[in-house]
Structure formats: C-alpha cells, structure tokens
Amino acid sequence: MDNDDLGLFGPGSITWKVHDEPVLIVAGLRSLYLQALHPRAMAGVAQNSNYRSDAWGRLVRTGTYIDTVNYGTTAEAETAGRRLRALHARLRATDPFTGEPFRIDDPDLLRWVHVTEVESFVGTARRAGLSLTDAEVDGYYAEQRRAAALVGLDPADVPGSAAEVADYYRTVRPELRMTKAAAETALFLTAPPIPWKLSRPARLGLSLGPPRWAYFGVAGTALGLLPPWALRLYGGLGLPTTALTADLSVRTLRLALAALPRTWRESPIRQAAKDRVVRSLAV
C-alpha cells in the first residue's frame, strides 16, 4: 500500500539522518547564496520568478518539494518530480552576457542547483555538530542521485561522493562571478521583507523587531558557511576566523532548534513519514 511505502530513502538512509536536522534552514539559505554566483542560473531565476514579491511563498514551496522527495512515498516523490520537470520544460531565459536564449532545464544548470543544495545540506549538518563519517557523507551524495534523477538528470552525471563534489566545484568555478543580479539577490536574501505577523515593533525603541534580528543572524551564519572561494566572490576575505565564527553560530542554533517541540521542528510530511515507519514496525 502507498500509505505504508517508505519512499525513495527510508529510516536507515543517510538522507533521513541528515534531513532530520532542523538547522538545515541555514543550509537552504547557504545554497541560495551559492546558486546566485552562477550567471545563467541567476538569470533563470530573475527572468522567471517572482521571488521578490513572494519570497516566503517560494521558500515554503521549495521546502515542501524537498521534504516530499526525501520523506514522501515513492509515488508522491515521483509526482513532485514530474510536476517540476514539466514546469522547467516550459521556461526559457536569456544569457546576461551573450544574449543567447537557454532552457531552464539545461542539465548543467540543474546539476549546479542540485550540487549546491546537497553539498550545503550535508556540509551544514556536519559543521553544526551532526556526527557523520566520511563514508556516510559519500553515502549521502550517492543517495541523493535519486533526487537528481527526479529533476531530469542522469544520475551517472551527478557527483556521488565528496571527492566528486570537490572536483565539480573546481571545474565550474571559472564560470562563477559576482554580477549585478547576484549582488541584488544576495542583498535581498540577507534582508528580505518579514511577514507582517512577525514584523512587530521592537521594545526599547529599536526599529527592527526580534524576528528580523534573528533572521539577520541566520543569514550571517549562512554566508559565513560558504566556501572561502565563494566568500571572496562576495567581497569577503574567507578567513579561517570567519569559518570558526560560523561554525560556533550554527552549532548554537542547532542546540536551540533541537529544544523546540517536534510539531515545530518537523513538517507534516516528515511526521507522516515517521508515522508510516511506526506502522511498518508494528506489522
């Protein structure tokens, strides 16, 4: 029965171990900062997305998709993948430097988005304090090839280990640069509009409410977790002290989030997946 299907990964997977970490909200933001450095990827977003007027809605939809792939049933994950492929197949954009039109579902762009996401997820989880062996990190990358297949990539063309991810970054780095669109997006990611329900005047005469200060902290941590070469593209120095500060911040945030009730930390999709595991063990 689909209702008892444990999905593409399941409770024994490294994927479930990594994505059980609520601190991955920082990883998602980190991946967006990285993705913005690819001119074509950035053009694809800027020319086809309403992310500025619906930033939080887009964030929720992206999170729902990732949760569905990782924790939904096999049928739910495959359906989500088909919908995303159909959406991407209709979209086109124009290269900001050459004027050449290109497809959003170009494999090179899909691969860039996939790698920056999974590398951000497993890297952030590890730096936040999740105990992962090198073999488990490689296992996570290998497992996530199944997610890459859902968006239309050939798994054989997707990095499946930490060494392959490092090689991929070395290959693609000459294509990356700080463009006007990337700078504007980074600024928007760092200081987006806060939903009105959360944007309340702070006490003591401060002009920014607690939610915005909290978000600034998350954004600053996400930036600090970027690879040194990415920080340099953003105008930072990429110093060891930057990485150390980010590591301390993300570890502190992980402890704080772990103290929240399960219903606050876990999406309904993730809770449903764990309920299916309990039912399967009871049979």
Decide if 8 is inside a domain.
no
pLDDT in tens, 60-103: 899 999 999 999 999 999 999 999 999 999 999 999 999 999 99
User: Would you state the torsion angle of the CA atoms of residues 159, 160, 161, 162, taken in this order, to the nearest 10 degrees?
Assistant: 40
CA distances 79 to 45, 72, 73, 75, 266, Å, are 23, 10, 10, 6, 22
Alpha-carbon distance of 7 to 36, in angstroms, equals: 31
The answer to whether residue 197 sits within a structural domain is: no
Residue 235 falls within a domain, yes or no? no
> Is residue 152 included in any domain, yes or no?
yes
pTM, two decimals, is 0.91
Q: Over 70: is that where the pLDDT of 1 sits?
A: no
Domain count for the chain:
1
Please give the span between the terminal C-alpha atoms of the chain, in angstroms, as a whole number.
13
Q: Is residue 55 part of a domain?
A: yes
- Model confidence pLDDT, tens digit, residues 184-216: 999 999 888 766 444 444 433 333 444 666 888
Give the separation between CA 57 and CA 62, rounded to whole angstroms: 9
In this predicted model, what pLDDT tens digit does every residue of 12-68 receive, in sequence order? 999 999 999 999 999 999 999 999 999 999 999 989 987 777 777 888 899 999 999
Q: Is 187 a domain residue?
A: no
User: Is residue 41 assigned to a domain?
Assistant: yes
Residue 95 lies in a domain: yes
CA distance 28 to 15: 15
Please give the residue range of the domain that contains residue 75: 14-179
